[in-house]
Amino acid sequence: MENYLSFVTIDLWTLIFTWGNLLILFLLMKKLLFKPVTDILNKREQEVNDIYDNANTTKEEAANLKSEYTAKLADAKNTAEQIIEGAVKKAQQDEEKIIKDARFKAEQIIKRAEENIELEKKNAFNKLKNDISGMAVSLASKIVERDVDETEHHKMIDEFIDSIGEAS
């Protein structure tokens, strides 16, 4: 066991050197390993934060664009509705104008037709009057030529009426 006792004993100088080596090793690792690793982790954390900030900014921009798009779409719908309403009103106005013009033209045609009918009536009446007066003159001249008794007189009137019926 004595052989093994030298392994188990605590030597103060060995302990101090071991602790010193450990401290030097820790300081070297801190300087050469921990600090660069910490810097790399901090940079990576900053990159991740920047990515999140960019994502949030992009999300806000997308929300703003969406709201603008929605507003423009609503404006476009309103504009389209106004255009349609305007077109419908114009079509109705055009329809009313066309109907009004057609009625006016129809009334003018009817008025001209009535005037033509009235003129034809007057012409026919004047022609009939001329024919009747001519027949009356002819009858009167026949009466003057002969001495007519009452039966002949009635016979001539009947002939005159028959000739008027044939003429009309």
In a domain, 72, yes or no: yes
In a domain, 3, yes or no: no
Do the domain assignments include residue 4? no
- Average pLDDT taken over every residue of the chain: 85
Our separate counts of H helices and E strands in the chain read: 4, 0
Q: Does the residue 153 lie in any domain?
A: yes
Does any domain span residue 5?
no
Tell whether the model's pLDDT for residue 168 goes beyond 60. Answer: no
Full residue range of the structural domain in which residue 85 is found: 10-167
What is the tens place of the pLDDT at every residue in 62-87? Answer: 999 999 999 999 999 999 999 999 99
Who has greater pLDDT, 4 or 53?
Answer: 53
Return the pLDDT at 23.
95
- Assess if residue 53 is contained within a domain: yes
Per the structure, how many domains does the chain have? Answer: 1
* Two structure tokens written together for 140: 């009167």
Angle between helical axes of 35-145 and 150-167 (0-180°, round to 10):
160
- The two three-digit tokens of residue 21, written as one number: 């080596």
* Residue 127: band (very low, low, confident or very high) from pLDDT cuts 50, 70, 90: confident
For residue 167, is pLDDT > 60?
Answer: no
Percent of the chain with pLDDT over 90: 54
Q: What is the pLDDT of residues 19-65, one digit of tens each?
A: 999 999 989 888 888 888 888 999 999 999 999 999 999 999 999 99
